[in-house]
A = this chain, B = another copy of it.
Amino acid sequence: MTTTATWPNSPAHAPTEDELAALHAWWRAANYLSVGQIYLMDNPLLRRPLQREHVKPRLLGHWGTTPGLTFLYAHANRAIRQRGLNAMYITGPGHGGPGLVAASYLEGTYSDVYPAVAQDEDGLKRLFTQFSFPGGIPSHVAPETPGSIHEGGELGYALSHAYGAMFDSPDQIAITVIGDGEAETGPLATSWHSNKFVNPQQDGVVLPILHLNGYKIANPTVLARIGDEELAALLRGYGHTPLFFTGGFDGEDPMTAHERFAGVLDTALDQIAQIKAQAQEDAAAGRETERPAWPMIVFRTPKGWTGPETIDGKQTEGSWRSHQVPLASARDTDEHLADLDTWLRSYRPEELFDEDGRLLEKIADTAPRAEHRMSANPSTNGGSVLRPLRLPDFRDYAVEVPRPGGAISEATRVLGTWLRDVVRENPRSFRIFGPDETASNRLQAVYEETDKQWNADFESHDRDEHLARAGRVMEVLSEHQCQGWLEGYLLTGRHGMFSSYEAFVHIVDSMVNQHAKWLKVTNELEWRRPLASLNYLLSSHVWRQDHNGFSHQDPGFIDHMVNKKAEIVRVYLPPDANTLLSTYDHCLRSRQYVNVVVAGKQPNPTWLSMDEAIVHCTRGLGIWEWAGTEADGEEPDVVLACAGDIPTIETLAAAKILREQVPGLKVRVVNVVDLMRLQDDSEHPHGLAQRDFDGLFGEDIPVVFAYHGYPWLIHRLAYRHDRTSRIHVRGYKEEGTTTTPFDMLMRNDTDRFHLVMDVIDRVEGLTTRYAGLRQQMEDERIRARAYAYEHGEDLPEISGWQWDEEAEEVGTVSATGGDNE
């Protein structure tokens, strides 16, 4: 374990008066541009008297947090220049969009990316007008904002994103502002503990700055109202050395505030430099570096700092009334217009911009240049630094399949062997995230190559299995953390996956929403380069949570994801180990998607050889001739369709019963791997044309579809196709408990016997002729349940899941005691 870079460590010097004056001018400029964006659509330099028609008709934006953000940005810039830091800026209070747009404009990045918004008066007018304006840019820090990897519209993920961005970035620092409102969210509250997972030698630095401006929309914030002593204890308890700064109150001269804050920031950065120097020394000596108490800053300043002190007689600066747009009637009343004029002119724009409207050189000089600008840090446009993974040939990990179902394997365990080698080939750019379930989901082969990264205390090796100060597997019992870290890692140009129990991935429903939105918007921004996809592996799924019971049974994440834009979302249900290998290889090569892969971890038949699996996965769905009984060129009587590993087994078992019991019935078996192929081709790029749909599912024959999740999803996907009322779907209908695997299927009418009954009920002419078989199927169900209720396990002939009674176990481990679940 070595660091790849030397931490910049120029000795700090206290800023000179001139430096502070320039810094202050830059701050005034950033604030001026922020207020301008919120209010103005014309007269951007106030060279004419301010008129009502210069003010936007709809005033949208959030002032309250903005001046604090610009203050911190200005000071970060000083430090970057002085120390040569490689920094990015993560804006937890994403509402402060105008501040970050202003900063990137002042640094020139904005005009680089959007040339129409040039460095002149016309550019300023465009900059102001476009903000929160139809056809313009959003009000929050957004994908459109250069230098951002974090929207901050939904709160709580700033620190997780920051740590994710810093893993394997040893020469970088993420200056991360956390709003004190955001700090009340659960995800943020736990993400402080990320410092127990960061490695000072091989990872970068997160400098959290808690922006304690005291108020949310209409309330004080909790952390602003517990006193400094309790707050300091909390932050020390989180493992930090807190540095407190209070500034801007009681009419403090801003120059004093600047001078004092520069000192606080220098202290923090000196401490960091010391920690990094120690880490480098340790690395050189081959020693481990123990977890240090990283510094962090509590930044207590007035909400809406430098804004109007009072409006309509009510305190505004330093109160929740600054949260959004303080002068809401600036276009409507003379009084508010005059207040706005005074406010804008308080920044003395005439001292900041030259004749053409360009920021004065001496002020611009306070910001860093080129890629040292936080708004131009290449890592914040992750696709621009992304390199493809070196992927071992997944075909080499295939399970040998002598005939369909002729080999038994645990799909995720087989995948683990390939992932082990993906880890080996990509020691600095691929990580596996999960809430304490990597082994439970049977990916433990990766531990032959790497460990779980951990930087809290260690005990004995026996108890701390596969735990090390550096490793590719990140486990913490917080799906929010896993998701946030992975997003941060991907957004800065790396690769990864998230392995989770299927039911509990719902915990991050809202987070993945935001990531999908980010991807959608960046698809429309040419300068944002494509990112590696966000890959889920959902195992321990609904059909095999029979031991954990109802609380652990929920296949609805798929339903959640298919609401996102079609060009972003892919859902795969590989039915066996070989198709899982092929699917995951595809996912790790893909860009700009959210790939949801659901796969079981229990010993199951392997249906397809690797060559067949590749063809099947490439098509996304297909007819399994060997499983059906249709004759060449003739339309079958019924289609048995299936998606998901367990429904596939039941479908094949049903097909077998039908072959034996209903001679002459022409059954087609269709297996679906890529769920989006069920859509119409007008709805999804993977969708099927009607002709192809008919080619697979017939034109007007019954389809009995056994699906992994909630059955109605199949209808929702296929509804645009013609004659879909003939499709009868079975799946999980929220009937779960602790029981046997087969009883789970029976409770949801998705077992093989019920599928046969469905065929008898739906194929013309069978109902009467095969009433006896139907009754026999009912009897089989009763027998299966009675056996389970008496013996506590399934009938051996069912629980073996045997399609091929001679099948050999390949790629499994006898289950005795191996896995905690």
Shortest beta-carbon distance from A346 to chain B in Å = 21
Please tell me if the beta carbons of A219 and B820 are within 8 angstroms of each other in the complex.
Answer: no
Residues in B whose Cβ lies below 8 Å from that of A713: 716
Contact status A237-B239, CB under 8 Å: no
CB neighbours (8 Å) of A459 from chain B are: 220, 225
A47 touches B (CB below 8 Å): no
Q: Which residues of B contact A464 (CB under 8 A)?
A: 220
The listed residue (B57, B190, B227) touching A184 by CB distance below 8 A is: B190
A523-547 contacts to B, CB under 8 A, are 547
In the complex, A321→B551 CA distance in Å? 23
Can you give 15 A-B contacts (C-beta < 8 A)? Answer: A41-B792, A154-B552, A155-B477, A186-B480, A189-B193, A193-B222, A196-B226, A220-B456, A221-B477, A227-B457, A320-B463, A504-B510, A506-B509, A513-B556, A715-B719
Instruction: Chain B residues near A315: list those with CB within 8 A.
Output: 462-463
A238 contacts across to B, CB distance below 8 A: 234, 237
B477 pairs with A560, CB closer than 8 A: no
Q: Which of A133-141, A264-272, A358-366, A489-497 contacts B (4 or more CB under 8 A)?
A: A133-141
Q: Does A743 contact B (CB under 8 A)?
A: yes
Contact A506/B517 with A182-B477, A218-B440, A560-B556 known, Cβ cut-off 8 Å? no
Known A-B contacts A190-B186, A226-B196; A513 and B520 likewise in contact (beta carbons under 8 Å): no
The answer to whether A220 touches B467, judged by C-beta atoms less than 8 angstroms apart, is yes
Q: Which residues of B contact A456 (CB under 8 A)?
A: 220, 222, 225-226
Q: Does A808 contact B (CB under 8 A)?
A: no
Cβ proximity bits A444-460 to B, threshold 8 Å, 1 near / 0 not: 00000000101011110
Contact B457 A226 (CB under 8 A): yes
Mask, A123-160, CB within 8 Å of B = 1, is 00000010011111111101000000001011110000
- Decide yes or no whether A476 CB sits under 8 A from chain B: yes
Interface 0/1 of A303-341, CB less than 8 Å to B:
000000001101100111101110011001000000000
The answer to whether A184 and B476 touch across the interface, beta carbons within 8 angstroms, is: yes
Q: Of B324, B554, B719, B821, which contacts A821 at CB under 8 A?
A: B324
Query: Range of interface residues on chain A?
Result: 35 or more
Given contacts A457-B226, A477-B155, contact A186 B184 (CB under 8 A): no
A792 close to B57 (CB less than 8 A): yes
Q: Could you tell me which A residues sit within 8 Å of B by CB distance?
A: 41, 56-58, 60, 94, 129, 132-140, 142, 151, 153-156, 181-182, 184-191, 193, 196, 215-222, 225-227, 230-239, 311-312, 314-315, 318-321, 323-325, 328-329, 332, 436-440, 452, 454, 456-459, 462-465, 467, 475-481, 503-504, 506-507, 509-510, 513-514, 517, 520-521, 547-552, 554, 556, 559-560, 563-565, 710, 712-713, 715-716, 719, 722, 724-725, 734, 737-740, 743, 785, 788-789, 791-793, 816-817, 820-821
Q: A138-B738, A719-B715 are in contact. Are A550 and B462 (CB under 8 A)?
A: no
Best-buried of A154, A237, A480, A816 by chain B (most CB within 10 Å): A237
Closest CB in chain B relative to A474 CB, distance in Å: 11
Contact: B184 with A187, CB < 8 Å? no
**What is the CA–CA distance of A215 and B465 in the complex, to the nearest angstrom?**
12
